Amino acid sequence: MHRIYSLFTFVIITMCNSHVFASRNAEPIIFSIDLKKEVGSTTWIYIQKGFAQAQESNADAIIIQMNTYGGEVLYADSIRTKILNCKLPVYVFIDNNAASAGALIAIACDKIFMQNGANIGAATVVNEKAERMPDKYQSYMRATMRATAEAQGKDTILNGADTTYRWKRNPLIAEAMVDDKTTIPNVIEAGKTLTFTTQEAIKNGYCDGMANDIDEVIQTNLNYKSYKLIAFEPSVWDNIKGFLMSGVLQSILIMLIIGGIYFEMQAPGLGFPIVVAILAALLYFAPLYIDGLAANWEILLFVIGLVLLGLELFVIPGFGIAGVLGIVLIMSGLVLSMIDNVIFDFDNVKADETSNALITVTSGLFLSFGLIVYLSMKIGTKGIFKKMALTKTMETKEGFIAVSMSEVQLVGSIGEAATVLRPSGKVSINGVSYDAISVQGFIEKGTKVKVVKYETGQIYVQDEC
Using CA atoms of 187, 188, 189, 191 in order, give the dihedral in degrees to the nearest 10.
180
* Distance separating alpha carbons of residues 182 and 124, to the nearest angstrom: 12
> Which residues, 6+ apart, have CB-to-CB distance to 212 below 8 Å?
115, 116
pLDDT band at 257 (very low <50, low <70, confident <90, very high): confident
Using CA atoms of 114, 115, 118, 120 in order, give the dihedral in degrees to the nearest 10.
0
- Tens digits of residue pLDDT in 396-406: 555 555 556 66
pLDDT of residue 99: 93
* Distance separating alpha carbons of residues 352 and 358, to the nearest angstrom: 10
pLDDT band at 375 (very low <50, low <70, confident <90, very high): low
227 within 8 A of 27, measured Cβ to Cβ? yes
- Tens digits of residue pLDDT in 312-367: 766 666 567 877 888 788 888 888 877 766 666 666 666 666 777 777 777 777 77
296-314 vs 247-265: helix crossing angle, rounded to 10: 30
> Which residues, 6+ apart, have CB-to-CB distance to 169 below 8 Å?
107, 149, 152, 205, 206
Average pLDDT in the chain: 81
pLDDT of residue 348: 64
88-98 mean pLDDT: 95
Domain limits, the chain? 2-236, 246-388, 396-463
Please report which residue ranges of 164-268 form alpha helices under DSSP H: 171-176, 198-203, 214-216, 236-244, 247-265
> Which residues, 6+ apart, have CB-to-CB distance to 348 below 8 Å?
340, 341, 342
Strand-pair partners of 33 = 64
Distance of CA 381 to the CA centre of its chain: 35
**Amino acid type, 16:** C
Look at residues 93, 112, 116, 80 and name the one whose alpha carbon lies nearest to residue 33. 93
pLDDT of residue 245: 79
296-314 vs 321-336: helix crossing angle, rounded to 10: 150
Q: Give whole-number Cα distances, 60 to 21, 25, 29, 208, in Å.
A: 17, 13, 5, 19
- Parallel, antiparallel, or unpaired for β 228-231 and 29-35? parallel
227 within 8 A of 143, measured Cβ to Cβ? no
CATH tag, 2-236: 3.90.226.10
Please report which residue ranges of 26-117 form alpha helices under DSSP H: 41-56, 73-84, 101-108
Q: State which CATH number among 1.10.3210.10, 1.10.10.10, 2.40.10.230, 2.40.50.140 fits the domain covering 396-463.
A: 2.40.50.140
Residue 297 has pLDDT above 60, yes or no: yes
pLDDT of residue 32: 96
Element (H, E) at 264: helix 247-265
- Tens digits of residue pLDDT in 380-398: 555 444 555 555 555 555 5
Residue 191 has pLDDT above 90, yes or no: no
364 within 8 A of 251, measured Cβ to Cβ? yes
147 within 8 A of 106, measured Cβ to Cβ? no
**Amino acid type, 112:** I
Q: Which of 11-20, 164-173, 297-306, 365-374 is the least confident region?
A: 11-20
69 within 8 A of 105, measured Cβ to Cβ? no
